[in-house]
Copies of this chain bind each other. A is one copy, B any other.
Amino acid sequence: MTIAAVSRKYALTPDTLRYYERIGLLPPVARTSSGIRDYREDDCSWIEFIKCMRSAGLPIDFLVEYVKLFRQGDETLAQRIRMLKEQRDILAGRIADMHTSLDRLDMKIEHYENMMAPIEHEPKPME
Protein backbone atom coordinates (compact mmCIF):
# COMPACT_ATOMS: atom_id res chain seq x y z
CA MET A 1 0.00 0.00 0.00
CA THR A 2 1.48 3.35 -0.99
CA ILE A 3 1.53 6.37 1.25
CA ALA A 4 -1.13 8.02 -0.94
CA ALA A 5 -3.50 5.09 -0.48
CA VAL A 6 -2.99 5.06 3.29
CA SER A 7 -3.42 8.80 3.32
CA ARG A 8 -6.82 8.46 1.65
CA LYS A 9 -7.85 5.53 3.82
CA TYR A 10 -7.19 7.25 7.13
CA ALA A 11 -7.54 10.90 6.15
CA LEU A 12 -4.01 11.73 7.24
CA THR A 13 -1.77 13.64 4.85
CA PRO A 14 1.36 11.90 3.57
CA ASP A 15 3.31 14.58 5.42
CA THR A 16 1.63 13.63 8.67
CA LEU A 17 2.27 9.93 8.09
CA ARG A 18 5.96 10.59 7.44
CA TYR A 19 6.08 12.92 10.43
CA TYR A 20 4.53 10.27 12.69
CA GLU A 21 7.06 7.72 11.53
CA ARG A 22 9.94 10.16 11.94
CA ILE A 23 9.12 10.90 15.57
CA GLY A 24 8.48 7.24 16.37
CA LEU A 25 4.73 7.46 16.66
CA LEU A 26 4.61 4.69 14.09
CA PRO A 27 7.11 1.88 13.77
CA PRO A 28 9.35 2.15 10.70
CA VAL A 29 7.44 1.13 7.59
CA ALA A 30 8.82 -1.43 5.13
CA ARG A 31 10.27 -0.06 1.89
CA THR A 32 10.43 -1.27 -1.69
CA SER A 33 13.86 -1.82 -3.18
CA SER A 34 13.85 1.78 -4.32
CA GLY A 35 13.05 3.17 -0.87
CA ILE A 36 9.32 3.78 -1.29
CA ARG A 37 7.16 3.05 1.75
CA ASP A 38 5.02 -0.07 1.48
CA TYR A 39 2.43 -0.05 4.26
CA ARG A 40 1.35 -3.51 5.48
CA GLU A 41 -1.62 -4.68 7.54
CA ASP A 42 0.29 -4.14 10.76
CA ASP A 43 1.18 -0.59 9.82
CA CYS A 44 -2.47 0.12 9.10
CA SER A 45 -3.48 -1.26 12.49
CA TRP A 46 -0.99 1.03 14.16
CA ILE A 47 -2.15 4.02 12.17
CA GLU A 48 -5.74 3.35 13.09
CA PHE A 49 -4.86 2.88 16.75
CA ILE A 50 -2.68 5.97 16.86
CA LYS A 51 -5.29 8.04 15.07
CA CYS A 52 -7.94 6.91 17.52
CA MET A 53 -5.75 7.66 20.55
CA ARG A 54 -4.58 10.99 19.20
CA SER A 55 -8.14 12.08 18.46
CA ALA A 56 -8.93 11.27 22.09
CA GLY A 57 -6.12 13.59 23.10
CA LEU A 58 -3.52 11.11 24.35
CA PRO A 59 -0.17 12.87 24.29
CA ILE A 60 2.29 12.10 21.53
CA ASP A 61 5.08 11.48 24.08
CA PHE A 62 3.06 8.75 25.68
CA LEU A 63 2.30 7.08 22.37
CA VAL A 64 5.91 7.31 21.22
CA GLU A 65 7.00 5.63 24.46
CA TYR A 66 4.27 3.05 24.06
CA VAL A 67 5.31 2.18 20.53
CA LYS A 68 8.92 1.93 21.69
CA LEU A 69 8.03 -0.49 24.49
CA PHE A 70 5.80 -2.52 22.22
CA ARG A 71 8.66 -3.02 19.83
CA GLN A 72 10.83 -4.23 22.70
CA GLY A 73 8.61 -7.23 23.16
CA ASP A 74 6.78 -9.06 25.88
CA GLU A 75 9.00 -8.16 28.82
CA THR A 76 7.52 -4.63 28.65
CA LEU A 77 3.94 -5.90 28.90
CA ALA A 78 3.42 -5.07 32.57
CA GLN A 79 4.74 -1.56 32.06
CA ARG A 80 2.54 -1.03 29.03
CA ILE A 81 -0.51 -2.12 30.99
CA ARG A 82 0.33 0.38 33.72
CA MET A 83 0.74 3.13 31.13
CA LEU A 84 -2.50 2.27 29.39
CA LYS A 85 -4.38 2.25 32.68
CA GLU A 86 -3.00 5.62 33.61
CA GLN A 87 -4.05 7.11 30.28
CA ARG A 88 -7.41 5.38 30.54
CA ASP A 89 -8.09 7.11 33.86
CA ILE A 90 -6.96 10.48 32.54
CA LEU A 91 -9.20 10.05 29.50
CA ALA A 92 -12.17 9.01 31.66
CA GLY A 93 -11.61 12.14 33.71
CA ARG A 94 -11.52 14.35 30.64
CA ILE A 95 -14.72 12.81 29.35
CA ALA A 96 -16.36 13.49 32.70
CA ASP A 97 -15.19 17.12 32.60
CA MET A 98 -16.48 17.52 29.07
CA HIS A 99 -19.79 16.14 30.17
CA THR A 100 -19.95 18.80 32.83
CA SER A 101 -19.33 21.42 30.16
CA LEU A 102 -21.95 19.85 27.92
CA ASP A 103 -24.52 19.98 30.70
CA ARG A 104 -23.66 23.58 31.32
CA LEU A 105 -24.05 24.38 27.64
CA ASP A 106 -27.42 22.66 27.62
CA MET A 107 -28.54 24.65 30.64
CA LYS A 108 -27.45 27.87 28.99
CA ILE A 109 -29.32 27.00 25.81
CA GLU A 110 -32.44 26.14 27.75
CA HIS A 111 -32.19 29.35 29.72
CA TYR A 112 -31.83 31.42 26.56
CA GLU A 113 -34.69 29.62 24.86
CA ASN A 114 -36.89 30.45 27.79
CA MET A 115 -35.90 34.08 27.33
CA MET A 116 -36.82 33.85 23.63
CA ALA A 117 -40.10 32.06 24.23
CA PRO A 118 -42.35 35.07 24.97
CA ILE A 119 -41.17 36.65 21.70
CA GLU A 120 -41.30 33.84 19.17
CA HIS A 121 -44.24 32.14 20.85
CA GLU A 122 -46.24 30.50 18.09
CA PRO A 123 -49.28 28.83 19.55
CA LYS A 124 -49.02 25.16 18.69
CA PRO A 125 -52.06 23.22 17.54
CA MET A 126 -53.74 21.56 20.51
CA GLU A 127 -52.72 18.11 19.32
Nearest-neighbor residue (CB-CB) of A54 within chain B:
B101
Whole-angstrom CA separation of A30 from B97 in the bound complex: 31
Which of B85, B105, B120 lies in contact with A84, CB distance below 8 A?
B105
Main secondary structure of the interface of A (DSSP, over half): helix
Q: Which residue of B is nearest A94, CB measured?
A: B98
A1-9, A16-24, A34-42, A111-119 - interface stretch: A111-119
Within the complex, the shortest CB–CB distance from A75 to chain B, in Å, comes to 11
Q: Mark A81-121, 1 if CB is under 8 A from B, else 0.
A: 10011011001101101111110111011001101100010
Which 9 residue pairs across A and B have the least CB separation, nearest first? Answer: A56-B101, A88-B105, A56-B98, A81-B112, A84-B109, A95-B98, A52-B101, A91-B102, A85-B109
